[in-house]
């Protein structure tokens, strides 16, 4: 990726993990170990400082650590709960273990069919309809869609989110409705990876204090969750549910960054990132699931008088069928990043599509086996900086994952 | 009348007297006035039987009195209410123990009875009394998938349909209004009310066919007692 990340003391993460371990004695906790066996013909991954669109490139073929995760949820009195999710990804992460989410939640009793919920801390915005399993994983595939891979890489709400839910189905109606709004900070660099590299398809979630990049490139990777201009960002979303069969979501995100602001120490711009996101998920009694999401937005900076913008859009359709403990899924992704200088469309730094097919076998809550094949075809001007041709290139990966989970949270 | 297996008569003196009077009335009904076997069948729009529907039978000529209150128990086992639907006479009390290792909260915002039982395990709370007829929807504020219903009724006769969609009981001869309710029913329950005259003869039967399809059953792996349709 070749971008900067400020070295951050690992004390925070280690301290939090220590607290987590102590509190976990009385909490709902879960420990997951995920190992991978794979073969890939992809280029060196962007996560390792290359131009590749997959998590594992050709040189990574063989046995790889997938994720070591520890999470706990602790009720604090009657209506409060704290959730901490820590992971080790086994790559060049600066902190051996770091947080992907950590938040405090307040959830009072419903009143007259309305229920409020407030979250404060660091967590995901309600965008993904496929990352619905514990640890923000997908029960359908190993690699998330291009949209949700980007969400995992660059977005985290570090702030406060409020939700008001109308429990229509509990009142005899066919629908539940909810409105969500958030105010957040520390997400000014969101857009850096989009502009530098474009979309990827992977399951590597950025951590709150971490850094990803080639070994020894600590100062060359972006610090993603960082406040630069002191202006809070906002998002607002709506969700409608038809029982547990259909979910429809829409969200407007604006990090309200000042595109001319620069952090002199980090030599990093504040990236003004705005997008609209929408999605629908259908689940049928016969075991079929269909998910489609759409994302359209732009990120830009303004060094001096020139406004440099990267409009982006992506969509996917996933179909999945469950047969008892077996799940077969297929997904098609389409994604594009353009480049504009002062509003004029100059070029298309990335244009691609991807096919993903996965088979998951979940004999129990403890074990999960997933076999996934991904093929990403993209034209990418990023490859030129590595001395490679930018034209259409197909990267493929066949990956077997074995995950073992422990803890009372599985019961 | 066929109370649920989990319901027990109240152990108070007043409860015992009421139960005794009820039993005597039943005896009078069955022996003195002579009763007939009544069966009510509920069918979906496609004619298939609807199990788990609640049938309430009200007298139009004054026969029968509201059933005596009972003391019922609704437990919480494996993050589900057990049983998940109770039909109880007005004035009954229900105990809500939690047999799970995890804590639960119970809430209801139904007009018939609004109440909350804050986070608990075991059996720390006294029974809740239900004085108003109506449907009380119960949930747990921590485990959203937990759902149960209490149907509080002032009908003298009530019960639930079996797997064949049928409920059978002994009722004195007379004129009645039969009502049906199901957690997934879209029909306005008053539109499905039927009059039933139990006259000479030993048997009377009634088939109620829903006009609208039932709401979809949840996709979870543990269906409720009303999800078999």
Minimal CA separation from B109 to chain A, in Å? 6
Q: Report pLDDT for A223.
A: 72
Minimal CA separation from B91 to chain A, in Å? 23
Q: Report pLDDT for B135.
A: 96
As given in the structure block, the two tokens for residue A283 are: 């689940």
Which chain A residues are within 8 Å of B137, Cβ to Cβ?
170
Which chain B residues are within 8 Å of A170, Cβ to Cβ?
109, 137, 139, 147
CB contact under 8 A, B215 and A243: yes
CA distances from B8 to A291, A406, B16, B69 (A): 48, 41, 11, 9
CB contact under 8 A, A110 and B139: yes
Q: What is the DSSP string of A20-67?
A: HHHHGGGSEEEEEEEEEEEEE-PPSBGGGTSSBSBSS-GGG-EEEEEE
Q: How far apart are CA A357 and CA A343, in angstroms?
A: 38
Which chain A residues are within 8 Å of B116, Cβ to Cβ?
109
CA-closest candidate to residue A235, choices A277, A291, A196: A277
Beta carbons within 10 angstroms of residue A74's beta carbon = 17
The one-character DSSP state at B33 is I
pLDDT digits (tens, 9 = 90+) for A136-172: 999 999 999 999 999 999 999 999 999 999 999 988 8
Instruction: Name A142's Cβ contacts closer than 8 Å, sequence gap at least 6.
Output: A66, A203, A358, A370, A372, A399, A401
Minimal CA separation from A111 to chain B, in Å? 6
Q: How far apart are CA B150 and CA B84, in angstroms?
A: 8
Q: How far apart are CA A236 and CA B11, in angstroms?
A: 55
ipTM associated with this complex: 0.78
Q: Determine the average pLDDT of the residues in B36-57.
A: 95
CB contact under 8 A, A75 and B119: yes
Which chain B residues are within 8 Å of A27, Cβ to Cβ?
none
CB contact under 8 A, B141 and A109: yes
pLDDT band at A106 (very low <50, low <70, confident <90, very high): very high
Q: With a cut of 90, say whether residue B110 has pLDDT above it.
A: yes
Q: With a cut of 80, say whether residue A129 has pLDDT above it.
A: yes
Q: How far apart are CA A243 and CA A224, in angstroms?
A: 37
Partner-chain residue, chosen from B118, B119, B219, that has the shortest CB–CB distance to A285: B219
Q: With a cut of 80, say whether residue B166 has pLDDT above it.
A: yes
pLDDT digits (tens, 9 = 90+) for A8-25: 334 344 444 444 444 434
CA distances from A342 to A192, A257, A258, A338, B107 (A): 18, 18, 16, 13, 57
As given in the structure block, the two tokens for residue A1 are: 């990726």
Q: Report pLDDT for B27.
A: 42
Q: How far apart are CA A121 and CA A157, in angstroms?
A: 8
pLDDT digits (tens, 9 = 90+) for B55-101: 999 999 876 678 899 999 999 999 999 999 999 999 999 999 999 98
| Cα–chain center distance at A125 | 9
Q: How far apart are CA A373 and CA A38, in angstroms?
A: 10
Q: Report pLDDT for B223.
A: 84
Q: What is the DSSP string of A284-350?
A: -TTSEEEEEEEEEEEEEE-STT--EEEEEEEEEEEEEEEETTEEEEEEEEEEEEEEEETTEEEEEEE
Tokens 């994952």 belong to residue: A401
Q: How far apart are CA B41 and CA B49, in angstroms?
A: 7
As given in the structure block, the two tokens for residue B159 are: 């019960």
Put simply, whether A323 touches B (Cβ < 8 Å) is no
Closest alpha carbon within chain B to A115: B141
CA distances from B199 to B36, B62, B159, B168, B176 (A): 8, 15, 21, 16, 11
Mean pLDDT of chain A: 90
CA distances from A229 to A190, A303, A306 (A): 13, 14, 19
CB contact under 8 A, A283 and B116: no
Q: Report pLDDT for B190.
A: 81
| Cα–chain center distance at A65 | 19
Closest alpha carbon within chain A to B119: A78
Beta carbons within 10 angstroms of residue A94's beta carbon = 20
SS3 A138: coil
Minimal CA separation from A36 to chain B, in Å? 29
Question: Mutate which of A163, A244, A408 to test chain B, going by most B C-beta atoms within 10 A?
Answer: A244
Q: Report pLDDT for B65.
A: 78
Q: How far apart are CA B220 and CA B227, in angstroms?
A: 11
**Residues A225, A104, A141, A178: is their CA dihedral positive or negative?**
negative
Residues of B with CB under 8 A from a CB of A: 101-103, 105, 107, 109, 116, 118-119, 137, 139, 141-142, 147, 215-220
Question: Mutate which of B76, B99, B107, B227 to test chain A, going by most A C-beta atoms within 10 A?
Answer: B107
pLDDT digits (tens, 9 = 90+) for A224-267: 888 999 999 999 999 999 999 999 999 999 999 999 999 887 77
Q: Report pLDDT for A409.
A: 72
Q: How far apart are CA B22 and CA B35, in angstroms?
A: 16
Q: Report pLDDT for A222.
A: 63
- Output Rg (C-alpha) for chain B, integer angstroms: 18
Q: How far apart are CA A403 and CA A134, in angstroms?
A: 12
Which chain A residues are within 8 Å of B218, Cβ to Cβ?
243-244
Question: Mutate which of A79, A81, A109, A409 to test chain B, going by most B C-beta atoms within 10 A?
Answer: A109
Q: What is the DSSP string of B38-97?
A: EEEEEE-TTS-B-TT-EEEEEESSS-S-PPPPEEEE-EEETTEEESSEEEEETTEEEE--
Q: With a cut of 80, say whether residue A66 has pLDDT above it.
A: yes
The percentage of chain A sitting over the pLDDT mark of 70, rounded to a whole number, equals 91
Contact A372, A357 (CB under 8 A): yes
pLDDT digits (tens, 9 = 90+) for A171-228: 889 999 999 999 999 999 999 999 999 999 999 999 998 866 665 544 455 678 889 9
Q: With a cut of 80, say whether residue A324 has pLDDT above it.
A: yes
CB contact under 8 A, B141 and A110: yes
Most confident of A372-376, B60-64, B168-172, B173-177: A372-376
Which chain A residues are within 8 Å of B216, Cβ to Cβ?
243, 245, 285
H helices of B105-209, where? none
Q: How far apart are CA A394 and CA A203, in angstroms?
A: 19
Closest alpha carbon within chain B to A111: B109
Put simply, whether A113 touches B (Cβ < 8 Å) is yes
Partner-chain residue, chosen from A28, A112, A411, that has the shortest CB–CB distance to B109: A112
Q: Determine the average pLDDT of the residues in A117-133.
A: 97
As given in the structure block, the two tokens for residue A140 are: 């359908």
SS3 A118: strand
Q: Report pLDDT for B6.
A: 43
């Amino acid at each position: 990726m070749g971008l900067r990340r400020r070295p951050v003391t690992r004390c925070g993460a280690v301290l939090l993990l220590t607290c987590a371990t102590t509190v976990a004695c009385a909490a709902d906790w879960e420990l997951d170990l995920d190992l991978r066996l794979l073969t890939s013909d992809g280029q060196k991954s962007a996560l390792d400082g290359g131009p590749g669109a997959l998590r594992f490139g050709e040189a990574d073929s063989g046995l790889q650590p997938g994720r070591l995760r520890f999470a706990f949820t602790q009720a604090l009195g009657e209506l409060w709960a704290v959730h901490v999710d820590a992971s080790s990804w086994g790559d060049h992460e600066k902190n051996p273990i770091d947080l992907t989410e950590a938040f405090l939640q307040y959830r009072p009793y419903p009143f007259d069919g309305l229920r409020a919920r407030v979250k404060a801390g660091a967590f995901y915005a309600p965008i993904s309809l496929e990352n619905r399993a514990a640890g923000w994983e997908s029960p359908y595939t190993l690699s998330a869609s291009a949209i949700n891979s980007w969400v995992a890489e660059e977005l985290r709400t570090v702030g406060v989110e409020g939700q008001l839910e109308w429990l229509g189905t509990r009142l005899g109606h066919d629908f539940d409705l909810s409105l969500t709004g958030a105010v957040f900070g520390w997400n000014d660099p969101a857009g850096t990876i989009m502009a530098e590299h474009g979309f990827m398809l992977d399951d590597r979630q950025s951590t709150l204090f971490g850094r990803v990049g080639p070994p020894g490139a600590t100062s060359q990777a972006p610090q993603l969750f960082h406040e630069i201009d002191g202006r809070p960002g906002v998002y607002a979303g709506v969700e409608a549910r038809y029982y547990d069969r259909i979910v429809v979501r829409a969200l407007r995100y604006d990090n309200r960054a000042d595109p001319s602001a620069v952090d002199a120490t980090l030599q990093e711009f504040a990236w003004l990132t705005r997008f609209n996101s929408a999605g629908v998920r259908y689940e049928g009694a016969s075991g079929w699931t269909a998910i489609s999401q759409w994302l359209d937005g732009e990120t830009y900076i303004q060094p001096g008088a020139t406004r440099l913008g990267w409009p982006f859009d992506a969509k996917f359709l996933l179909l999945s069928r469950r047969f008892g403990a077996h799940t077969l899924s297929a997904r098609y992704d389409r994604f594009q990043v353009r480049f504009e200088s002062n509003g004029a469309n100059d070029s298309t730094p990335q244009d691609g599509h991807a096919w993903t097919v996965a088979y998951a076998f979940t004999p129990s809550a403890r074990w999960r086996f997933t076999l996934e094949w991904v093929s990403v075809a993209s034209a990418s001007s990023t490859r030129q900086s590595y001395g490679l041709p930018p034209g259409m290139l197909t990267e493929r990966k066949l990956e077997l994952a074995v995950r073992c989970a422990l803890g009372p949270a599985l019961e | 009348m066929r109370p649920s297996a989990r319901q027990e008569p109240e152990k108070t003196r007043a409860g015992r007297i009421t139960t005794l009077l009820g039993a005597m009335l039943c005896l009078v009904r069955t022996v003195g006035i002579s009763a007939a076997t009544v069966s009510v069948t509920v069918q979906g729009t496609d004619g298939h039987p609807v199990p788990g529907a609640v049938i309430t039978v009200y007298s139009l000529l004054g026969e029968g009195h509201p059933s005596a209150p009972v003391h019922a128990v609704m437990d919480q086992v494996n993050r589900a209410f057990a049983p998940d639907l109770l039909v109880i006479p007005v004035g009954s009390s229900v105990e809500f123990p939690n047999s799970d290792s995890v804590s639960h909260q119970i809430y209801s915002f139904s007009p018939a009875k609004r109440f909350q039982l804050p986070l608990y395990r075991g059996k720390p709370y006294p029974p809740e009394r239900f004085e108003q007829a109506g449907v009380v929807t119960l949930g747990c504020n921590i485990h959203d998938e937990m759902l149960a219903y209490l149907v509080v009724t002032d009908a003298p006769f009530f019960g639930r349909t079996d797997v064949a969609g049928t409920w059978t009981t002994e009722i004195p001869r007379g004129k009645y209004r039969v009502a049906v309710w199901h957690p997934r029913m879209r029909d306005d329950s008053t539109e499905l009310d039927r009059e039933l005259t139990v006259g000479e003869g030993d048997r009377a039967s009634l088939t109620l066919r829903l006009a609208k399809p039932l709401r979809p059953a949840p996709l979870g792996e543990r269906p409720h007692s009303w999800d078999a349709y």
